[in-house]
Amino acid sequence: MGKIVLYKHQNINQDEIWDEGANEFAIYSKNISFYHKIANIFASFVDIHRHINICDLGCGSSGILINEILQKKENIENLFCIDYSSEMLDVCANNVISSNKIKFIQSRAEDFSKKLPCELDMVIADCSFWLFEAQKALKEIYLSLKNEGDFVFNFAEWDFDFENHTPHPKYKVVDDELQKRNIEIVKEGGGKKKFSKKNIEKLLTDNGFSIISIENVYIETSKEDWLYFYSIPSIVKRSMPLLTLDLGMDVLKSAINSMTNEQLKPIRWIFYHTRKKQ
Ligand SMILES: C[S@@+](CC[C@H](N)C(=O)[O-])C[C@H]1O[C@@H](n2cnc3c(N)ncnc32)[C@H](O)[C@@H]1O
């Protein structure tokens, strides 16, 4: 059989992807250790004296962060859980602890400030900022926050251009698996990442935020984590947009199964803690 060459477009339809996978996203996320570790890190930014009204922007369906915050930070009055996907919100409602502090709002990050009943002390974008139209979302986050309110968000190494960073070995393993199957995926624009230290810091400054801290975190990841990660349809569709879901999942899982222990390196994440300037 001849080689199959596929051209990867970055502009796939996001809406369908997240709506369709809401259930699986919740089920499998709960088994992925790095999602719990990340939720833990975000919860550690919540200051019980300053953060009373909080928003989880792009909250998804697993409820991991929501439960983590509500269980650890009793003083919170409102936790606004915002997502544009109504499926994600519906599934999320079944995965969170029962609390009248939780308020679900269906909205885009680029258009949510007017839907809030009060000003916020903190906005958290847990593994979601990479999906937003950054400039518009930052304007909305600015409008929704009190003066000196906090905005915290993160990127994984696959969405952020870390300078002098050696790519995670899983990329080579996946490429090898594709090659074995005679499939070539051509990344247009050389697969350049949308976010870098330079552009994100300019966006933050231009939109009225000061940077309080930047944390580089390496999170250990097991083979099991990756297999659960690639059981989530929305993740597979993002990673392999041109393959059918079944084929994409098969390629990714075979690749993960072939990984050696040395290739299971921790994933690099960057966390930005920023504050609205007065
Ligand atoms: C990778 S998931 C992360 C979900 C959750 N924060 C977590 O860590 O489990 C991204 C979420 O952002 C939502 N999303 C994507 N683009 C959005 C937008 N422009 N506005 C609001 N939500 C968005 C998706 O529906 C999805 O639930």
Q: What is each CA distance from 40 to 32, 125, 192, in whole angstroms?
A: 13, 14, 30
| Confidence check: pLDDT of 8 > 70 | no
Residue nearest to atom 7 of ligand 1 (CA): 60
Q: Is the CB of 60 under 6 A from ligand 1?
A: yes
Q: Is the CB of 109 under 6 A from ligand 1?
A: yes
pTM confidence score: 0.94
Beta strands per DSSP E along 157-261: 160-161, 183-187, 195-196, 209-219
How far, in Å, from the CA of 258 to the mean position of ligand 1? 30
Q: Which amino acid is at 181?
A: R
- Band the pLDDT of 14: cuts 50, 70, 90: low
Distance CA 171, CA 25 (A): 22
Q: Is the CB of 248 under 6 A from ligand 1?
A: no
Quote the pLDDT of residue 164.
Answer: 86
How far, in Å, from the CA of 45 to the mean position of ligand 1? 20
Residue nearest to atom 15 of ligand 1 (CA): 131
Q: Is the CB of 108 under 6 A from ligand 1?
A: yes
Q: pLDDT tens digit string along 235-265?
A: 998 888 888 999 999 999 999 999 999 999 9
Residue nearest to atom 14 of ligand 1 (CA): 58
Please check whether residue 267 is in contact with residue 156, taking contact to mean a CB–CB distance below 8 angstroms: yes
Please check whether residue 238 is in contact with residue 229, taking contact to mean a CB–CB distance below 8 angstroms: no
Q: pLDDT tens digit string along 164-212?
A: 889 899 999 999 999 999 998 776 655 567 899 999 999 999 999 999 9
Residue nearest to atom 23 of ligand 1 (CA): 58
How far, in Å, from the CA of 109 to the mean position of ligand 1? 9
Is the domain covering 4-276 a CATH 3.30.930.10 domain? no
Q: Is the CB of 29 under 6 A from ligand 1?
A: yes
- Band the pLDDT of 148: cuts 50, 70, 90: very high
The 10 Å Cβ neighbour count of residue 143 is: 15
Please check whether residue 195 is in contact with residue 125, taking contact to mean a CB–CB distance below 8 angstroms: no
How far, in Å, from the CA of 128 to the mean position of ligand 1? 5
Q: Shortest CA distance to 171 belongs to which of 152, 185, 182, 155? A: 185
Q: Domains of the chain: which residue ranges? A: 4-276
Distance CA 135, CA 228 (A): 32
